[in-house]
Structure 1
Amino acid sequence: MRAWKRPEIVSVPGESSAPWLHDTKTDSLVLARPLDAARLYVCGITPYDATHIGHANTYLAFDTLQRVWLDAGFRVHYAQNVTDVDDPLLERATATGVDWRDLAESQVELFRTDMESLGIIPPNDYVAVTEVIDEVAAAVALLQDAGLAYTVPTDDAIAGADGTISADLYFDVRAAEASTEWTLGDESNLDLVSMLGLFAERGGDPERAGKRDRLDPLLWKAARAGEPAWESPVGAGRPGWHIECSVIALKELGTDFTVQGGGSDLIFPHHDMSAGHAQALSGHPLAGVYSHTGMVAYQGEKMSKSLGNLVLVSRLRAEGIDPRAIRLALLARHYRTDWEWTAAHLDEAVLRLAAWTAAFGATGVSETNAETPGAAAALVQSLRVALRHDLNTPEALQLIDDSTAAPLDDPALVNRAISALLGVAL
């Protein structure tokens, strides 16, 4: 699948190093230092609605991570999925009378446009689930052969092309715990009661009859009337949610990749189960670091498609808002915090952009202060330190704010650093 145009990333004189990043699994800061290339997987969208500020907040956080790696001289290999067949997408298509394929295609294109406008670095591998149906089915078959997947009677399943009626396939979490080094809840650090509550809230079916454990997740959904399905070695049907990311990540990045990223609403069950599937398939951990962004609220509730309280990037752009201001409004909050979007955040960002442009933009770069030699280089080094410490963008923004009051010896250097490290071209 096509991604979007890559922004220009300029080089900045000086030296940097790998960042320290919060790891959800250990609840600590760990050094995200690649052994070879920095390998990053960030879970993508389910394309049934446009990009909202919560989405942008997540992808901007991992864009910042990539910029820190690149500034330190590391090569980055970034993969992202698109869940272009899933229950929420099918439900929205039915409700709006649009073919599910057309709905997915239109929303993916809008997402691409939003990401490009915000200057987000695109993935090297941008993979739709419908592009890896065979690979997912083969992985489910392997899990079944290993005794880690089982069928559950499915009354509403229909026959495939060969006339065979299949059943839903589930992952046996307890069998996986017994035969691998993965443990349920290991990535999320949650107790059983919390896991059950989140499992029911986030697409799981803890009360389904016939399951061996209430927390066993769906691997393969048997064909139903009126729903898309593909023929496969495990019967006609389509992938479950978690297995798709496991398969795509392993296919594009291999095992033990550097960072698994996404919003904090994916910690459980999605990332926990994806890690379990990957461990069962490969015999290795999925990732070294599990990194998660906070949730963005609006009008008192977490911004979500189900509630409809969305601030859409495309709508802000249509209103004439400079995408750089949107980016600065998001960078002003630490990526791990939960916060609420208001118009005041955008107003603040517009003023900040104007101040930075005056100090370091086309007019500012001509003003130098020979009495402060090395001041610009020192500022750039301070920016690097802030960003290497768990992507502390609020501190980085404040450092630049504090430097707009008096001309520096090399405003052009600061201009390059703002562009390269924060993705804001002045």
Structure 2
Amino acid sequence: MIQLYNTLTNKKEVFTPLSAGNITMYVCGPTVYNYIHIGNARSAIAFDTIRRYFEYSGFRVNYVSNFTDVDDKIIAASKELKITPREVSDKYIKAFYEDTDALNIKRATLNPRVMDTMDDIIKFVQVLIDNGYAYESQGDVYYRARKFTKYGQLSGQSINELEQGASERLNGDEVQKKEDPLDFALWKSAKKGEIFWESPWGAGRPGWHIECSVMATKFLGDTIDIHAGGQDLEFPHHENEIAQSEAKTGKKFANYWLHNGFVTIGEEEEKMSKSLGNFITVHDIVKEINPQVLRFFMATTQYRRPIKYSQTNLKEAAANLKKLQGAYDNAAYRLKDAVEAQIGDESKKYLVQQKIDFKAAMDDDFNVQNAITVVYDLAKKLNIYSSEDYVLKSTLQEFMATLVEELNIFGVFLDAHKEADVNEKEIETLIAQRNEARKNHDFEKSDTIRDLLKEKGIILEDTAQGTRWKKDE
């Protein structure tokens, strides 16, 4: 029984999908004018981990995440780069896939783009006008926020608080155009030299908030199971999505709202963002570290908690990941001399309880920190078993399969034989020659072979069960 924290109600709730065995999930995607930074990656990793756990639990997940490819920043980038806004978006969508693939983030069922959904956006806005929730003013179209009686429910703000904040943000032109400071743009009239589309209200382009309402309902239905995104999107973006969608359909927009915590950086633990200029792009960092380390670092912090990005925390994640890989490698090595027999009762009993404990942690609002502790215990148990004189192949295989399956939810791969600069047969031949030299007390030859392998990036470990090797990292 999965429980998740619903931002709309500010409490944990038992998750019940609209359709048994199926989940509709919409996650706000990036504005594609630059490479994604690790704050953006945190959201993608968090909800990919949640998606993977749903699938592990037997659900089919229809996962939609948009690309915002119409935006002031994209227009500015197109002028700077002297290419069209679509070419800017194409460039960074390609980069997005490269970066998220490196982080082992599963691709969405669908990644719709604003430019390809323009007719639907215009029709959606027209319905809101027809229903009295929107109005045209000097070529712009605004939503009457006060008319939607639940406005402010998601972010927990009163109309008075929202009105004061809106008034402080308005410029002179907006004051003249709007009926109410709270009203927000659905359609913006075109400025000279900028990309535009024709509409019943004149040439222009959509406001930011309308796109997600349109794409979520178009591809997932009027009511969806889960809508997710970063905490910074609660207001105004998600608040406005609810207002737009429910005014148009007359139905509840999303049953559950999930929001991930920020990535912070520096001594002051500032939120990482492009606007503050304190961001690190995934494009750059994956050139310096193993992408699996960044993935593991972020995936093992509960999605609602903030993550402090630091070299110290990355190194700790790398060390923990190395221990897990080591446990798997130890077991894989022992498969060579393991006995063919059924798994023992004690091992079987342990694995049953281990899986129960893992599931209990993940069912509790995806508490990955408790879940990974259960995985660490499995790795420890596997290491102890692998060091025994007599081991069963079935027991090793069951432990290894469980380790791989659970780490897959975190988006982490394990591989018993990593690529080396020499092939495995050559390594084994040299190890055999070294063992023979040691047997004959020819330690000079033994050391020469060890040094030769070390130069090739191969580290030897002499154990009670024989000599094993691994690639130096």
Matched, 1:225 2:192: yes
Match for residue 114 of structure 1 among 87, 96, 99: 99
- Counterpart in the other structure of 2:76: 91
Letter paired with 1:378: Q
- Counterpart in the other structure of 1:309: 278
Letter paired with 1:219: L
Instruction: Give yes or no for contact 1:221–1:239 (8 Å, CA) kept in 2.
Output: yes
**Pair 1:365–1:383, CA change in 2 (3 A):** farther
Rounded to whole Å, the distance in 1 between the matches of 2:366 and 2:333 is: 27
Q: Deviations over 1:166-218 (max 9, x none)?
A: x11100112333xxxxx1111211234653577689xx747621312212110
Rounded to whole Å, the distance in 2 between the matches of 1:271 and 1:396 is: 30
- Counterpart in the other structure of 1:241: 208
Moved more, 234-243 or 406-415: 406-415
- Counterpart in the other structure of 1:170: 142
Matched, 1:392 2:367: yes
Match for residue 124 of structure 2 among 107, 120, 139: 139
Instruction: Give yes or no for contact 2:146–2:182 (8 Å, CA) kept in 1.
Output: no
Greater share of residues in helix: 2
Letter paired with 1:58: S
Rounded to whole Å, the distance in 1 between the matches of 2:164 and 2:124 is: 28
**Pair 1:226–1:149, CA change in 2 (3 A):** same
**Pair 1:294–1:206, CA change in 2 (3 A):** farther
Letter paired with 1:295: F
Deviation at 1:111?
0.7
Rounded to whole Å, the distance in 1 between the matches of 2:7 and 2:305 is: 13
Rounded to whole Å, the distance in 1 between the matches of 2:128 and 2:364 is: 39
Identity %: 32
- Counterpart in the other structure of 2:401: 413
Rounded to whole Å, the distance in 2 between the matches of 1:314 and 1:362 is: 33
**Pair 1:134–1:338, CA change in 2 (3 A):** same
Match for residue 378 of structure 1 among 353, 361, 364: 353
Matched, 1:258 2:225: yes
Instruction: Give yes or no for contact 2:66–2:112 (8 Å, CA) kept in 1.
Output: yes
- Counterpart in the other structure of 2:17: 34
Letter paired with 1:129: V
The Cα RMSD (Å) is 2.2
Give the alignment of 1:9-408 within 5 angstroms.
17=1, 19-36=2-19, 37-153=22-138, 167-177=139-149, 183-192=150-159, 195=162, 205=170, 208-209=174-175, 210-299=177-266, 300=268, 301-319=270-288, 321-361=289-329, 363-364=331-332, 366=334, 370=344, 372-407=347-382
Letter paired with 1:237: G
Moved more, 392-401 or 77-86: 392-401
Deviation at 1:125?
1.6
Of structures 1 and 2, the one scoring higher in RCO (CA 8 A, sep 6+) is 1
Instruction: Give yes or no for contact 2:375–2:403 (8 Å, CA) kept in 1.
Output: no
SS of residue paired to 1:224? coil
SS of residue paired to 1:82? coil
Rounded to whole Å, the distance in 2 between the matches of 1:323 and 1:197 is: 44
Rounded to whole Å, the distance in 2 between the matches of 1:101 and 1:238 is: 14
Rounded to whole Å, the distance in 1 between the matches of 2:167 and 2:413 is: 44
TM superposition score normalised by structure 2 = 0.77
SS of residue paired to 2:148? helix
**Pair 1:419–1:397, CA change in 2 (3 A):** closer
Rounded to whole Å, the distance in 2 between the matches of 1:379 and 1:234 is: 61
Q: Deviations over 1:234-279 (max 9, x none)?
A: 3211111111100000000002211000000000000010011000
Instruction: Give yes or no for contact 1:52–1:310 (8 Å, CA) kept in 2.
Output: yes
Structure 1, unaligned stretches of length 5 or more? 1-16, 154-166, 178-182
Letter paired with 1:349: A
Rounded to whole Å, the distance in 2 between the matches of 1:375 and 1:128 is: 48
Moved more, 47-56 or 373-382: 373-382
Rounded to whole Å, the distance in 2 between the matches of 1:112 and 1:323 is: 14
Instruction: Give yes or no for contact 2:136–2:201 (8 Å, CA) kept in 1.
Output: no
Instruction: Give yes or no for contact 2:3–2:363 (8 Å, CA) kept in 1.
Output: yes
Instruction: Give yes or no for contact 1:379–1:399 (8 Å, CA) kept in 2.
Output: yes
Rounded to whole Å, the distance in 2 between the matches of 1:365 and 1:216 is: 65
**Pair 1:268–1:81, CA change in 2 (3 A):** same
Structure 2, unaligned stretches of length 5 or more? 386-394, 415-473
Task: Flag the structure with larger Rg.
Answer: 2
Rounded to whole Å, the distance in 1 between the matches of 2:167 and 2:89 is: 25
